[in-house]
Amino acid sequence: IERAGMPAGVFSLIQGGRRDVGTALVTHPAIKAVGFTGSLVGGRALFDLCAQRPEPIPFFGELGSVNPMFLLPAAAAARAETIGSGWAGSLTLGAGQFCTKPGIAVVVDGPEADRFTSAAKSALEKVAPQTMLTKGIAAAYHEGVDRMRASNAVAPVLAVESAGRDAAPNLFETNGSAWLADHSLSEEVFGPLGLVVRVGSPEEMVALAESFQGQLTATIHMDDADLGLAHDLLPILERKAGRLLVNGFPTGVEVVDSMVHGGPYPASTNFGATSVGTMSIRRFLRPVAYQNFPAGLLPEDLRN
């Protein structure tokens, strides 16, 4: 900081794994805005504290996203294996610790769904266990895997044991009606876990899209013949996610002017903001209008 010629206090670091550390920060009167990435429970608690302050402050939180991926019929017929292996790579990038990891794949049941799931399984089998960032994150991943295994609504496709801070890929599948009936299946499992949801028809795929909560991303894999179904999905997904993709994987997040890394709650607590990209600075700026000012009184940056 000193070498860059920046004022003291521009950067400070406080380490601590207890919730009272975060509580002390967001309630301190010198803090005027908060950015947060973490769990729904922890983030919501901090969000509420920010709102309850004598001087409430904005809280920009990322609290969880499963980033659904929709495989439309023509695309699945043409390249199910390619999409399946690509999905496996996106699921396991960085031990699945990307908040944009596409954790749920929705596909119409049938031979194409079989091909897609088989290709994803084959690719995941080649991925060795990876070390997660912290013991707490790893423990939460193991708990999520156990929750999936204990559910009567899902069936294991690839079940690999892991312990400690290691995380091995796991893959499960279910059908559309079972998924709609069990809200816990829509909750994020942070780590290399994927869930294939087999729907009975394109109409059920649209119904499934309607049921999602707010997401950071939503992806459509499509060919030209899928344009009609894509038109049905698009207005739904526009209301559900901050970033929409076609024929790609959302794990990578580029820092550019057009990037939107946010979305409706619980993906984020402020759907009008982004935490990545050049617009992200707006979270920590407060606009001021100067009306009828003489030039000599204006801030220097505004003088012509």
Burial of 160 (0-12, 13-18, 19+ CB in 10 A): middle
Instruction: Collect all residues with Cβ–Cβ distance below 8 Å to 238 and sequence separation of at least 6.
Output: 244
Residue type, 155: A
Q: Which uninterrupted H or E stretch holds 195? A: strand 193-199
DSSP secondary structure string, 256-282? STT-----STTTBS-TT--SSSGGGGG
The angle, 0 to 180 degrees and rounded to 10, between the axes of the packed helices 111-125 and 73-92 is 20
Maximum pairwise Cα distance, the chain: 73
Q: Which uninterrupted H or E stretch holds 230? A: helix 227-240
Burial of 16 (0-12, 13-18, 19+ CB in 10 A): exposed
Q: Is 50 a catalytic residue?
A: no
Given the residues 2, 50, 81, 99, the one annotated as active site: 99
Q: How far is the C-alpha of 260 from the C-alpha of 272, rounded, in Å? A: 9
Burial of 239 (0-12, 13-18, 19+ CB in 10 A): middle
Q: What is the DSSP letter of 70?
A: E
Q: How far is the C-alpha of 25 from the C-alpha of 77, rounded, in Å? A: 52
Q: How far is the C-alpha of 64 from the C-alpha of 41, rounded, in Å? A: 10
Given the residues 50, 62, 112, 188, the one annotated as active site: 62
Q: Which residues are catalytic?
A: 62, 99
